[in-house]
Amino acid sequence: MYQFSGRLKTFSIALILLGAIGLAFSFYSGSKTTLEDAKHAIEAANHGTHGGHEAATAPHQEEASHHESEEKTDKEAHAAMIEAYSNSEAHETTDGHGSSHDDAHAEHVLHQLQNRPWSAFYVALFFFLGMTLLVLTFYAIQRVAQVGWSVVILRVMEAITANLLPVSILMIIVLAASVMHVNHLFPWMAEGIFDPESDNYDAIIDGKSWWMNSTGFMLRSIAYLIIWNAYRYVIRKGSIKEDTANDGNKTYKKNYNLSVVFLFLFMITESMMSWDWIMGLDPHWFSTLFGWYVLATLLVSALTVIAFVTIYLREKNVLPGINDSHIHDLAKFMFGFSVFWTYLWFAQFMLIWYADIPEETTYFVARFTEYKLPFIGMVVMNFVFPVLLLINSDFKSKPWFVFIGGTVILLGHYIDVFVMVMPSTVGAQWSFGIPEISALFFFIGLFIYTTFSAFAKANPIAKGNPFLKESEHFHYYNIEHTSEDGSGDHH
């Protein structure tokens, strides 16, 4: 049995506390921002980076901005697109840099400044929730496909999914706060959006109100989280029961059936979750493969995290039966799904780039202007680097290479989520500082605590699984195992 060491426990709790303090500080200073700060930020932007931004936006203005003033692309490309498309007429009148526009603009920037701690928390929260969820899904796939090789690390995956419950609760809190207007993460929740009499009226969002309304949003969100958590609760129980069941695989088959149902529900809820929680941040914009794209990001992260925890536990000698081939297989998945992510990322980009329709390009205009470095950088981190590092078969079974590649992959996919969320919520007011780092610390600490305390609570090997032998003998023909002797072992 594994024992959650005191040192690791202290470390994780320290991370949680550090993160919580940093977050409390950021939320406090975020709530203190005033209209004055917003005006300062606007001025600083106008003086400091005007030239640079102008140059960067120039090609895009040709394509999509005949109805925008220059200052608007400069400051809030996406918001301008949203507004320009729906009420361009109303906008013409306020476009002349009149005082009403300046005030509205300052208030918008103020909301972005106030959103910063919320967004920082939301990015890390979504990243960890999604990653944990995809570990659960990958685990369900192992059961449905009756995979042999991975049986010795099934308990590792199970332990990671213990993180699902706390992050789900935090997600409910953040979404409820959004619905109650505590923050301004979701533009479609703003006052008057669905009211034709209001200045804020948005015909496009109103047309989607059958889906985009607070009640439905909240009900759906709770439903997704309940479905996922229910499966996690039941399958964990069933899996532990398998160890001692000895009932001719009856429990095993029951777990199989449960997992089939979960995977079916997952594919539906995952797509809907990505529309609600991420695409809803840009309520005018849509992409039909967005659910897949989010899935790919979260899946690569999930596999990397499984590999990390597996390598760590193997170093601690608490994972009997594991060998280099298992690490090799995890690294193959990391490599393969990195390419899969790139495929989806590029497919989404290319179609929008090719068609060049203003209502679609807004998404990429906002990211190319204000987020150029993270946006381009993440493609290098998520595609070029893993391909170069992990293409060699021998490297895939070396823990150090997997660790280096995995670190870059995880950072890259965090940035991917960052670039999905931030342009819509904080726009040009983004940076990477105390709120973002604190949120990461908080969730890493929470992850370590939940994962390893869950791992300590059950047998590290799923010994009731009928494929356990196959997994222990697993040997990818192309590599030499380092630790144990592979002689006479030609399966």
Q: Among residues 317, 477, 483, 485, which is the contact residue for other proteins, using CB under 8 A?
A: 477
C-beta of 345 vs 449, nearer to other proteins: 345
Q: By CB under 8 A, is residue 490 in contact with other proteins? A: yes
Distance CA 63, CA 352 (A): 12
Least distance to other proteins from the beta carbon of 146, Å?
A: 21
C-beta of 55 vs 355, nearer to other proteins: 355
Helix (H), strand (E) at residue 412: helix 399-425
Q: By CB under 8 A, is residue 47 in contact with other proteins? A: no
Site string for other proteins, 308-337 (x = CB under 8 A): ------------------------------
- How would DSSP label each residue in 93-158? HH-S--HHHHHHHHHHHHHHHHHHHHHHHHHHHHHHHHHHHHHHHHHHHHHHTT-SGGGGGHHHHH
Write the Ramachandran bin of 356: left for phi over 0, alpha for psi from -120 to 50, otherwise beta.
left
| Cβ atoms within 10 Å of 220's Cβ, excluding its own | 17
Q: By CB under 8 A, is residue 1 in contact with other proteins? A: no
Least distance to other proteins from the beta carbon of 383, Å?
A: 12
Least distance to other proteins from the beta carbon of 288, Å?
A: 18
Q: By CB under 8 A, is residue 350 in contact with other proteins? A: yes
Q: Given the rule CB under 8 A, which of 68-76, 87-95, 344-352, 450-458 is the region that contacts other proteins?
A: 344-352
Q: Among residues 1, 55, 355, 373, which is the contact residue for other proteins, using CB under 8 A?
A: 355
User: By CB under 8 A, how many residues form the interface with other proteins?
Assistant: 11
C-beta of 57 vs 304, nearer to other proteins: 57
Least distance to other proteins from the beta carbon of 490, Å?
A: 4
Q: By CB under 8 A, is residue 353 in contact with other proteins? A: yes
Q: Which two tokens stand for residue 330?
A: 């995890």
Distance CA 196, CA 204 (A): 12
Q: By CB under 8 A, is residue 469 in contact with other proteins? A: no
Q: What share of the chain is helix, strand, coil (3-state, %, to 5)?
A: 75, 0, 25
C-beta of 201 vs 476, nearer to other proteins: 476
Q: By CB under 8 A, is residue 340 in contact with other proteins? A: no
Distance CA 369, CA 354 (A): 19
Give 469-473 contacts, CB < 8 A, sequence gap 24+.
470/148, 470/149, 470/151, 471/148, 471/149, 471/150, 471/151, 471/152, 471/321, 471/326, 472/152, 472/321
Q: Among residues 11, 201, 349, 385, which is the contact residue for other proteins, using CB under 8 A?
A: 349
Site string for other proteins, 384-423 (x = CB under 8 A): ---------x------------------------------
Which of 468, 469, 483, 489 lies closest to 324, judged by CA?
483
Q: Among residues 28, 211, 286, 346, which is the contact residue for other proteins, using CB under 8 A?
A: 346
Least distance to other proteins from the beta carbon of 487, Å?
A: 10
Distance CA 366, CA 345 (A): 16
Binding region for other proteins (CB under 8 A): 346, 349-350, 353-356, 393, 477, 490-491
